Amino acid sequence: MLVNARNTSFLFSLTLSISLNAALPELSSLEPLEFDEDAQRLVARGDARLDFDNTRIRADRITYYQDYALADADGNVVISRDGGRLITERLSFDANDSIFSVDYLRTGQWPYYVTGVSAGGTTQNTTVQGATVYYGNPSKFGLSVSSDEIRYVNDENEGEYVSMDGATFRVGSVPVFYLPGYRHYLSSAPYMVDANAGSDGELGYYLQTTTLFPVASWLRAGVNLDYYSQRGVLAGPTAQYAYNSAQQSIVGALSTGAINDTGSDSERDLDSLGNQIESQRGFAEWRHKHHIGERFTATASVSYWSDSEVTRDFRDDIFDDNERPDTFAEAVYAGDNYLLSAFGRFRPNDFQLVQERSPEVRLDILPIPIFNTGAYQRASFSYAQLREDFDQNAPTIGVESEADRFDLTYRIERPILLSDWLTLTPLAGARLTQYDNQQIDNYFRPSALSPLEDSFNREIYELGFDLEARAYASYPTTNKTWDIDGLRHLVRPILRYRYYSDPDDVNEIATIDREVFDLQRPLLDLSDLRNVDQINETHLVRLGVENLFQTRAKGYGSRTLAALNFYQDILFEKELRYDGDEEDTFNATWVELVLTPAPWLKFDLASRFKTETLSLEELRTRTTLKSGEIWEIGLSTDLLNQQIDQYRLDFIYRINERYSFLSDVDFDADTGDFTKIRVGLRTRIGNTWELVYALTFREGAQRESDVEFQIQLSLAGDE
C-alpha cells in the first residue's frame, strides 16, 4: 500500500497515527510512505522526517520498524535536538533504549565542534572513533585536539565531559603538544591563551603569556610565564574556578608571578617609600566569592606585592585596575531583618599604611516598625580590634597605634505624609563608642597633651529631618531620530537637615579610622560614617533637586533619557578643606548629569563648584559616540582645581569585518604634554585568534619607557 504521508485520507491518517503514537515517533516524507503491514515496516523517501521527544531526524531515506522501534536513516542525515545538530551519512537508532550508531559525523554547539569517523552509544554515554574536537569554527589557525577514541559522558554528579587517551593538540594542522590522557568538561570555561610581546626601554624585548586550561568541571588552571631580556623570567600559577549547585555557588580567580629581577639598582629604582627595590620580586592576586543558600555570603580579596612597583613594571594591567591593593575578608549572614557579619582587613604589604581589623564583628538591625506608631527604628553594634603599624612608612615612630572599639548606633524616624506629593521625616539618633587598650605614639600628639588614657567613652547625638516633594508631568512628544515615544519628567526637590553634637575630648582617642581625601558628596547619616574615630561636630542643610526624563521602551516599560541632579550644602559649623582653607558657609554645589537619549550617544558629568565664587573646583565627564559597528569615540575629562587637569580621547574604527584601527591619547593641560599616545591595529586570524599591534609613546613617565612596541595575541572572544 502506498500513501502520501502529507496528503492522506482521513481513515488512514487516523489508523496510522494511532499505531505510531503507540511507538512514540512520527514519520513523514514528501513522497508516499511505503508500508509493509506484515513486517510492520515503514519506508519514507524524499525529505524523510522522524520526530520524537523534541528530536527530529531528516534524511534521504528512513526505514522504521514499528514493532521494535528501530530506525535506519541513509543519505544526508541531520539530527536536530535542543538547538544542537549532528550531520552524518548513516544512522541506526533504537527509540526504546535511545541507542544509536552513525558514520562520518559532524556536530557541536559554540564554542565546541566535533568530527569523527564513527560513533555509537546513548545520549548519556557516546564513543566517537577517529575524532577531533575544535574550539571555535574549524579554520586554518584554529585550536583542536584529536584522538583515536573520544568518550562523551553526561554524568549526573560530574556534568558533561569528554575524555580521551592519547590526545594531540594542534594549531591548525600543526601539532603543538601531546597528552597521554585528557578530560575536558563542556560546562567549564573555555581555554584562555593570552600572549603579549614587544620592546620596552626599561624591560628590553619581552614576551608575556597567560594560559588557562580546563582541568575539572569547575576549574581551569594554567600559568603566567614571561621573559624580559633585561630582567629575567617571571613565572607563577594561575587559576579560575566557578561551581554552582542547588545549595551553593563559588567563583574566584588566582594570578601570581615571581621573578629574580636581574636589573641594576638604578633600573629597579625606589619604591613608594623611597626604599631600594630588592631583586627578589613577586605578586599574588586572589579574588573569591561564596554563596551558601540565600543567607550566607563570603568574600575575600588578597593582594600581595613584594614592592609597590612590581605589577606596574611587569603586569601593568593589574596595576591599572588596582593601584592601591587592599586585602580583606568578609562573611555575612542575612537574617529575616538583620545582618550579622565578620570583616577583617590585613596588611600583607610593608609599603602600605593599612588600618587593620582583626576582625570587626558587626550586627545590623534593619528598619523595623515600632508597634503601630508609624515610626521606624534601626540599630547596629560592632566590636573591632584596630591596629596601624607605621614602621616602614615612618621609621621614627616606635609605637604602633591600636585599640579595641565597641560601637553602638541607634536611629528612629517617623515619615509624615503631609500631602500626596510631600513627605516630612523627622529623625533622631545616637552613636555611643567605647575604646579600650588604646595605644598611640606621642609623635601624633601635641606635647601639651597628657599621655593617652587606656580607656575612653564617647557619645554623639544626631537630630535632623528629610523633606521630600514629588511631581511628574507627561508630554505627547515624539521624535524618530531619538526614538522618543512620549516624554515623562519626574522631579524630586529635597531638603535634608543634620546636626551632630560636639564629641567630648576627641584628643583622647587613638585615631585610626580617620577622614580620607574624598571629593564625593559627604554622607549625612551619623550611623553611616566610617571615619568613626574622627567625627566632628556637624551642622548643615543640604538642598537638592533630582530630575529624571523617561520615554516608552519598545516592548515594555520605560527608558531613561536623562538624569539631572543639583545639590547645595549650607554649613553652620565649618571645618578645614582638603587644601587647608576654611570651608565656606555655602560650601559646595554639585551638578550631576547623565544623558542616554539613544544607543549611539552617552554623556556623564559630575561637577563641584565653590558656591560663593562660582568657581569650578572639580569636573569629571565622559562622552561616548557610536556609529553602529563602524566606529566609536570617547572623550573623558578629569579636573581638580590646582591639582589635576587631564583629558583622554579613545577611538576605534572598524576598517572591515577583519581589521580595526585603535587609538587613545592622554593630555595633561597643566604641563601641556601628551602624556600617552597609543595607536594600534586589531585583526583576526581565522575565527579563533585576535591579534593587536600597538605603538605607545609616553612623556614624563616615572617607570615606563618613552616608546614601546607591543604585539598581543589572544583567543577571540575570551575574557
Q: What is the pLDDT of residue 526?
A: 93
657-661 average pLDDT score? 91
Q: What is the pLDDT of residue 449?
A: 58
252-258 average pLDDT score? 96
The residue ranking higher by pLDDT, 179 or 343, is: 343
End-to-end CA distance of the chain: 60
443-457 average pLDDT score? 69
Q: What is the pLDDT of residue 7?
A: 32
Q: What is the pLDDT of residue 15?
A: 27
The residue ranking higher by pLDDT, 322 or 231, is: 231
Evaluate if residue 444 carries a pLDDT over 60: no
The 8-class DSSP code of residue 506 comes to: G
Evaluate if residue 626 carries a pLDDT over 80: yes
Evaluate if residue 319 carries a pLDDT over 50: yes
The residue ranking higher by pLDDT, 333 or 77, is: 333
* Domains with residue ranges and CATH for the chain: 2-185 (2.60.450.10)
Residue 408 backbone zone (phi > 0: left; psi -120 to 50: alpha; other: beta): beta
The C-alpha atoms of residue 114 and residue 571 are separated, in whole angstroms, by 70
Q: Which of 534, 562, 558 is nearest to 548 (CA)?
A: 562
pLDDT tens-digit readout, 345-379: 999 998 888 899 989 999 999 999 999 999 999 99
Contact 229, 218 (CB under 8 A): no
Q: Go through the chain and tell me how many residues it has.
A: 719
The C-alpha atoms of residue 363 and residue 216 are separated, in whole angstroms, by 38
% of the chain exceeding 90 in pLDDT: 46
Residue ranges of the alpha helices (H) in 295-444?
310-314, 316-321
51-55, 75-79, 692-696: least confident range: 51-55
455-471 average pLDDT score? 95
* CA 530 to chain centroid: 26
pLDDT tens-digit readout, 479-495: 888 888 899 999 999 99
3 state SS of 361? strand
Evaluate if residue 332 carries a pLDDT over 70: yes
pLDDT tens-digit readout, 560-615: 999 999 999 999 987 776 666 777 888 889 999 999 988 889 999 999 888 888 88
Evaluate if residue 13 carries a pLDDT over 50: no
Residue 611 backbone zone (phi > 0: left; psi -120 to 50: alpha; other: beta): alpha
3 state SS of 631? strand
Q: Which residue has the cell 521630600?
A: 468
Report residue 703's pLDDT band, with 50, 70 and 90 as the boundaries.
confident
* Exposed / middle / buried, residue 97 (Cβ in 10 Å: 0-12, 13-18, 19+): exposed
Contact 400, 392 (CB under 8 A): no
What own/partner pairs with CB < 8 Å and gap ≥ 24 does 391-398 have?
391/350, 392/273, 392/275, 392/350, 392/351, 393/273, 393/353, 394/443, 396/443, 397/441, 397/443, 398/441
191-196 average pLDDT score? 86
The residue ranking higher by pLDDT, 632 or 617, is: 632
The C-alpha atoms of residue 89 and residue 569 are separated, in whole angstroms, by 77
Q: What is the pLDDT of residue 22?
A: 36
The C-alpha atoms of residue 430 and residue 440 are separated, in whole angstroms, by 27
Q: Is the dihedral of CA 509, 515, 521, 527 positive or negative?
A: negative
Q: Which residue has the cell 602600605?
A: 352
The C-alpha atoms of residue 157 and residue 137 are separated, in whole angstroms, by 30
**What backbone torsions phi and psi does residue 380 show, to the nearest 5 degrees?**
-150, 150
16-24 average pLDDT score? 35
Q: Which of 105, 184, 197 is nearest to 143 (CA)?
A: 184
% of the chain exceeding 70 in pLDDT: 91
Evaluate if residue 422 carries a pLDDT over 80: yes
The residue ranking higher by pLDDT, 132 or 82, is: 132
Q: What is the pLDDT of residue 686?
A: 76
Report residue 111's pLDDT band, with 50, 70 and 90 as the boundaries.
confident
The residue ranking higher by pLDDT, 566 or 395, is: 566
Dihedral of CA atoms 363, 366, 370, 373 in degrees, nearest 10, equals 150
